[in-house]
C-alpha cells in the first residue's frame, strides 16, 4: 500500500512526542513493505519518496498515494488541506491519528497563527472527509466521534522495550546523585498541566526525612523568583529521544504527575510517552489519580491524589524501604510494555486499520474486527 504521511515535524531523529509517534509507526509500516510518501521537510529513510513542500508537491503526493495519514494535535495542521477545493477530488481515503483537541491552544505557550484562531470550524469541516481515526486515549475517541468520525478506535501509545530497558542502568549519568535513591521527573515546566510544583514541595519535605533520596529533573529549570529549590533537586538538560533510555534506566522511580484539566470538556486526553518509557525501563511509576493514567498504570504503578504532596512522599519512601514491593512493580511495569504497551502493537493496530480503510472493509464502531482494531477494554 502507498501511504501519504502528512505531519508537521521531521521524524528523524525523533525529538518531540509527535515526532516519536510518527517515527515509530512509519518505521513499522515501512518494515511491513508499505511505501511511504512525505513532503521534503521529512528526512527519515523509511520514506520512499518526498515531494516539494508546496501546493503542487502536495497534489502529487495525494495523486500517488492510496491512502492519506494525517497526524492531528493541539494546533491546526495539514488536516485542513482536505477542504481546499479540488485538492481531494480523487476521493482518496483519509485516516487521522488524533493526539489532542484544539482546546489545548488555550494554554499552549507561543503565538497563535490565523488558522489556529479559526481551528475549530476548520477542523470540523475537515473531519467530514475522514474515513477513520486512531486515538491515543479514550477521551479522544469521544472527541473524534463528536467531530462526526464514527469509526474511531483507541490506540494508546507505547514504548520500545529493546531501546528502553533496565540493563542500561548507569548512575553516573546523574552527576551529584550517583549515590542517591533517584526519583525522576521528566517534562516541561512550560506546560501548565504538568504538576512540577508538587515535585518541588515533596523534595522539600523529603529533604528532612531521608537525605539519601534525590530528585533528578530532566527539563528546563523554571525561573522561580519566590521559591528556592531544595538541595536534593538536581536539574539536567533535556536530551533527545534516542539519548533518553540511559537516563530512564538510571533512575529508581518515575513520576507521572499532572494537574486537573479544567480547560477541556474532555478532561485529561493525553497518552504520555514517559509513562510507557518509565515502565519499559523497569521503573515503578507514581502517577496522579486521573482516569486515563489509571487505565494504563493501575497494574504496575502507585496512584496518588492530584497535588497530594504527603501522598507522594509516602509512596517514594515506601518504594525505597520495601524492596519486595519495588521489585514486583518494576517487573510488572516492564512486562506491561512487553505484553501490550509497545510500538509494535501500535504499528500493527495502525496497519490493520489502514488496510481496512484502503480495502473498503466495513466494520462497526463497536465490537471486534481482526486482531487489533478493537483491543480489550482492560487495556
CATH number at residue 69: 3.40.50.2000
375 domain-assigned: no
Residue 17 has pLDDT above 90, yes or no: no
Query: Does 184 share its domain with 232?
Result: yes
37 domain-assigned: yes
259 domain-assigned: yes
Lowest-confidence region among 10-14, 112-116, 229-233, 350-354: 112-116
Residue 112 has pLDDT above 90, yes or no: no
pTM (two decimals) = 0.91
Average pLDDT over residues 8-37: 91
Percent of the chain clearing pLDDT 70 (strictly above):
91
Alpha carbons 22 and 14: distance in angstroms, whole number: 9
Query: Does 346 share its domain with 335?
Result: no
From start to end of the chain, where are the E strands? 2-6, 35-39, 49-51, 67-72, 94-98, 132-135, 152-154, 181-186, 213-218, 233-236, 253-256, 285-288, 301-304
**Number of domains observed in the structure of the chain:** 2
**Closest alpha carbon to 61 in 33, 87, 30, 86:** 87
Question: Please, are residues 6 and 76 in contact by the beta-carbon 8 Å criterion?
Answer: no
Using the 8-state DSSP alphabet, how is residue 332 labeled?
H
80 domain-assigned: yes
Which residues sit opposite 185 in a β-bridge?
217, 255
Which residues sit opposite 218 in a β-bridge?
186, 236
377 domain-assigned: no
Query: Does 252 share its domain with 326?
Result: yes
**Mean pLDDT score across all residues of the chain:** 90
Query: Does 285 share its domain with 179?
Result: yes
13 domain-assigned: yes
The domain in which residue 227 lies consists of 166-339
Query: Does 76 share its domain with 198?
Result: no
At 316, is the secondary structure helix, strand, or coil? helix
Provide the pLDDT for residue 89.
Answer: 66
119 domain-assigned: yes
Provide φ and ψ at 70, rounded to 5°: -105, 135
Query: Does 333 share its domain with 350?
Result: no
Query: Does 351 share its domain with 329?
Result: no
Query: Does 113 share its domain with 173?
Result: no
Residue 28 has pLDDT above 80, yes or no: yes
Alpha carbons 93 and 346: distance in angstroms, whole number: 20
Provide the pLDDT for residue 376.
Answer: 42
373 domain-assigned: no
* Helix boundaries (H) for 170-242: 196-207
Provide the pLDDT for residue 190.
Answer: 76
Query: Does 238 share its domain with 298?
Result: yes
* Helix boundaries (H) for 147-272: 196-207, 244-249
- Please report which confidence band the pLDDT of residue 111 belongs to, taking 50, 70 and 90 as the band edges: low
Q: Alpha carbon 118 to chain centroid distance? A: 25
Provide the pLDDT for residue 207.
Answer: 96
Query: Does 119 share its domain with 72?
Result: yes
Query: Does 17 share its domain with 119?
Result: yes
Query: Does 55 share its domain with 106?
Result: yes
Provide the pLDDT for residue 110.
Answer: 66
- Please report which confidence band the pLDDT of residue 217 belongs to, taking 50, 70 and 90 as the band edges: very high
Residue 220 Cα distances to 11, 154, 239, 285, angstroms: 22, 32, 11, 22
| Higher-confidence position of 76 and 156 | 156
Alpha carbons 162 and 116: distance in angstroms, whole number: 38
| Higher-confidence position of 224 and 358 | 358
Amino acid at each position: 500500500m502507498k501511504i501519504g504521511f502528512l505531519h508537521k515535524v521531521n521524524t528523524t531523529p525523533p525529538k518531540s512526542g509527535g515526532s516519536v509517534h510518527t517515527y515509530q509507526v512509519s518505521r513499522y509500516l515501512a518494515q511491513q513493505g508499505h511505501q511511504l510518501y512525505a513532503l521534503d521537510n521529512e528526512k527519515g529513510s523509511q520514506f520512499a519518496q518526498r515531494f516539494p513542500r508546496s501546493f503542487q508537491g502536495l497534489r502529487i503526493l495525494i495523486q500517488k498515494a492510496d491512502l492519506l495519514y494525517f497526524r492531528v494535535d493541539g494546533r491546526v495542521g495539514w488536516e485542513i488541506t482536505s477542504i481546499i477545493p479540488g485538492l481531494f477530488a480523487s476521493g482518496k481515503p483519509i485516516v487521522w491519528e488524533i493526539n489532542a483537541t484544539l482546546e489545548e491552544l488555550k494554554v499552549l505557550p507561543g503565538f497563535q497563527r490565523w488558522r489556529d484562531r479559526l481551528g475549530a470550524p476548520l477542523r470540523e469541516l475537515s473531519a467530514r472527509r475522514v474515513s477513520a481515526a486512531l486515538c491515543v486515549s479514550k477521551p479522544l475517541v469521544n472527541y473524534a466521534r463528536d467531530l462526526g468520525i464514527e469509526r474511531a478506535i483507541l490506540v494508546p501509545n507505547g514504548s520500545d522495550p529493546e531501546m528502553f530497558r533496565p540493563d542500561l542502568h548507569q548512575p553516573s549519568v546523574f552527576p551529584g546523585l550517583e549515590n542517591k535513591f533517584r526519583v525522576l521527573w521528566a517534562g516541561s515546566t512550560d506546560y501548565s498541566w504538568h504538576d512540577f510544583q508538587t515535585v518541588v514541595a515533596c523534595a522539600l519535605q523529603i529533604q528532612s526525612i531521608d537525605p539519601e533520596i534525590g530528585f533528578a529533573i530532566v527539563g528546563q529549570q523554571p525561573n522561580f523568583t519566590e521559591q528556592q529549590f531544595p538541595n536534593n533537586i538536581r536539574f539536567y538538560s533535556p536530551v533527545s529521544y534516542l539519548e533518553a533510555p540511559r537516563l530512564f534506566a538510571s533512575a529508581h522511580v518515575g513520576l507521572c504527575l499532572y494537574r486537573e484539566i479544567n480547560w477541556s470538556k474532555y478532561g485529561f486526553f493525553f497518552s504520555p510517552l514517559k509513562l510507557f518509557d518509565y515502565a519499559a525501563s523497569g521503573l515503578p511509576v507514581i502517577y496522579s489519580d486521573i482516569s486515563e493514567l489509571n487505565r494504563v498504570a493501575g497494574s504496575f504503578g502507585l496512584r496518588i491524589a492530584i497535588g497530594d504532596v504527603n501522598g507522594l512522599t509516602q509512596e517514594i519512601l515506601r518504594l525505597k524501604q520495601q524492596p519486595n514491593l519495588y521489585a514486583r512493580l518494576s517487573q510488572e511495569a516492564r512486562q506491561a510494555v512487553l505484553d501490550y504497551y509497545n510500538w509494535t502493537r501500535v504499528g500493527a493496530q495502525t496497519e490493520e486499520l489502514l488496510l481496512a480503510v484502503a480495502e473498503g472493509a466495513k466494520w462497526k464502531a463497536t465490537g471486534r474486527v481482526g486482531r487489533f482494531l478493537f483491543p480489550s477494554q482492560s487495556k
